[in-house]
């Protein structure tokens, strides 16, 4: 297929423009005329086209890896005898974002999301093989998603010699045709080093690397050591996989948060209390029991509930992820709390859980019943799905103590406090 022009139609999609051009495929911005939404289309080039296997493989891997930080494939089909992949359309790539000034706090947030995405892939025995800033896509609210699994390999036992990947970020063993989980760790380590230092190291690696002075001024020595371990030339000296790398990152981030809270607590009497802290305190006084806001947002430290889809203060996605849940177990997909007698996750439409008991446990938080007449199971406020039959909760939840509703989703909001809707991330208007 030759390059598509703006306003040209291919099936139900109207082309808006080209986003990127690669050796095997072009990516276009397009409009779905049926579902009335913008999407990204990946279309193979005729000059490099040798079959659908690689593109089918990419779709299959992407469908296998359902995660908030992994780019979703909306549809894949043959249109005009060409294989077309429709995906979510983001705002820009991480490569574009790095070129502009970015705060350390925001960089830490993006690093955490990148690690979460790759760790999920490694948990499912998938090696990406092309980790680079261009393959991380940013969405509104600084939500980061990993894309392009065209080179991905599934499990170490099925790996074939491959030199695929982008030369600037490729690990030495991958360049020689032997990719491993540690190869992705190496590539992501370079991405994060560039994110914080503004520089991409070149061979040979000799410390201090270019940009080390800026890195040292922005992060603690422990984090520099974290990055240094990730980009060791010897794979055995790196993190075993992204799961281990993410654990190390979370440990560092948790330690930093505890230190920050301790400093704020110890210095509150001398420096006074900020307006934001006063606002959070008043919000907690009014809504703590209603929303069970015992957690803190991973980005801004504001009080949040694990039922929230977004932080109402900064708009961060799934802000309570990784916090100790108020429930007995956690969903493996979204990491929110679930009860042992539930059949499904009530927050993310997650898969069915292994049945641990047939007993039903009463809960004082149950306030409504499922609308499905065949189910009528009890619901806790702000559930999105019934944990018994998976039926979507269509009736908007009210927020006790507030008469305000979100203009987009119609759920109750604390408009006098929130900057974003905690249920759909829509900005809250205060006029």
The domain that holds 72 is classified in CATH as: 3.30.200.20
Q: Is residue 368 assigned to a domain?
A: no
Q: Are 1 and 82 in contact (CB under 8 A)?
A: yes
List pLDDT tens digits, range 223-260: 999 999 999 999 999 999 999 999 999 888 776 666 66
83 shares its domain with 98: no
Domain boundary among 28, 58, 87: 87
122 shares its domain with 236: yes
28 shares its domain with 118: no
pLDDT at residue 393 greater than cutoff 90: yes
Model-wide pTM > 0.85: no
74 shares its domain with 166: no
Q: Is residue 262 assigned to a domain?
A: no
Sign for the pseudo-dihedral over CA of 230, 234, 237, 240: positive
70 shares its domain with 114: no
Q: Is residue 113 assigned to a domain?
A: yes
List pLDDT tens digits, range 52-108: 566 677 787 777 888 889 988 888 888 877 788 898 898 899 999 998 888 888 899
Token pair 């998976």: residue: 390
Q: What's the CATH number where 106 sits?
A: 1.10.510.10
Residue 131 to residue 118: CA distance in whole angstroms: 9
Residue 181 to residue 186: CA distance in whole angstroms: 9
156 shares its domain with 82: no
Contacts of 313 (CB under 8 A, 6+ apart): 276, 280, 297, 300, 302, 304, 418, 419, 420
What is the per-residue pLDDT for 264? 56
82 shares its domain with 118: no
124 shares its domain with 160: yes
Selected residue with higher pLDDT from 316 and 111: 111
What is the per-residue pLDDT for 358? 62
102 shares its domain with 223: yes
pLDDT at residue 272 greater than cutoff 70: no
Residue 268 to residue 262: CA distance in whole angstroms: 10
180 shares its domain with 56: no
What is the per-residue pLDDT for 261? 60
What is the per-residue pLDDT for 162? 42
Q: Is residue 340 assigned to a domain?
A: no
Q: Is residue 270 assigned to a domain?
A: no
List the strands of the sheet with 143-146, edge to edge. Answer: 92-93, 136-139, 143-146
List pLDDT tens digits, range 343-380: 899 998 877 665 555 667 778 889 999 999 999 999 99
83 shares its domain with 99: no
Roughly how many angstroms between the first and final C-alpha of the chain, as a whole number? 51
Q: Hey, which residues does 77 pair with through a beta bridge?
A: 84
77 shares its domain with 106: no
Segment 255-279 shows an average pLDDT of: 62
Domain boundary among 87, 115, 132: 87
Q: Which of 54, 43, 51 is nearest to 77 (CA)?
A: 43
3-class secondary structure, 256: helix
Domain boundary among 231, 247, 263: 247
- Containing domain of residue 38, as a range? 9-87
Q: Is residue 156 assigned to a domain?
A: yes
């Amino acid at each position: 297929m030759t390059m598509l022009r703006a306003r040209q139609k291919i099936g139900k999609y109207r082309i808006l423009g080209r986003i990127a051009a690669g050796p095997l495929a072009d990516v276009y911005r397009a409009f779905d005329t049926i579902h009335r939404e913008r999407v990204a289309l990946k279309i193979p080039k005729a000059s490099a086209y040798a079959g659908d296997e690689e593109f089918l493989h990419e779709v299959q891997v992407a469908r296998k890896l359902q995660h908030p930080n992994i780019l979703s494939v909306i549809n894949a089909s043959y249109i005009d005898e060409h294989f077309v992949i429709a995906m979510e359309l983001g705002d820009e790539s991480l490569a574009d974002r790095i070129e502009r000034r970015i705060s350390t706090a925001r960089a830490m947030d993006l690093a955490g999301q990148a690690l979460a995405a790759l760790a999920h892939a490694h948990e499912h025995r998938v090696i990406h093989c092309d980790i680079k800033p261009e393959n991380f896509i940013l969405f509104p609210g600084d939500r980061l998603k990993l894309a392009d699994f065209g080179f991905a390999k599934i499990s170490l036992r099925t790996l074939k010699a491959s030199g695929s990947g982008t030369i600037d970020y490729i690990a030495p063993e991958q360049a020689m045709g032997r990719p491993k989980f540690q190869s992705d760790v190496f590539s992501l380590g370079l991405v994060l080093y560039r994110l914080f230092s503004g520089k991409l190291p070149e061979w040979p690696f000799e410390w201090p690397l270019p940009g080390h002075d800026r890195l040292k001024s922005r992060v603690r020595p422990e984090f520099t050591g974290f990055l240094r371990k990730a980009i060791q030339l010897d794979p055995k000296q790196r993190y075993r996989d992204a799961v281990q790398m993410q654990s190390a990152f979370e440990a560092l981030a948790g330690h930093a948060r505890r230190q920050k809270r301790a400093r704020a607590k110890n210095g509150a009497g001398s420096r006074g209390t900020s307006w934001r802290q006063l606002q959070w305190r008043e919000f907690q006084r009014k809504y703590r029991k209603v929303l069970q806001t015992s957690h803190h947002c991973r980005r801004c430290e504001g009080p949040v509930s694990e039922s929230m889809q977004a932080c109402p203060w900064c708009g961060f996605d799934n802000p309570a992820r990784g916090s100790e849940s108020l429930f007995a177990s956690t969903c493996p997909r979204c990491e929110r709390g679930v009860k042992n007698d539930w059949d499904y996750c009530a927050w993310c439409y997650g898969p069915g859980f292994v049945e641990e008991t047939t007993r039903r446990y009463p809960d004082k938080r149950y306030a409504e019943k499922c609308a499905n007449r065949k189910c009528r199971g009890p619901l806790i406020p702000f559930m999105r799905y019934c944990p018994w039959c998976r039926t979507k909760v269509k009736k908007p939840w009210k927020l006790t103590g507030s008469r305000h509703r979100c203009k987009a989703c119609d759920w109750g909001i604390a408009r006098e406090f929130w900057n974003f809707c905690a249920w759909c991330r829509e900005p809250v208007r205060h006029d």
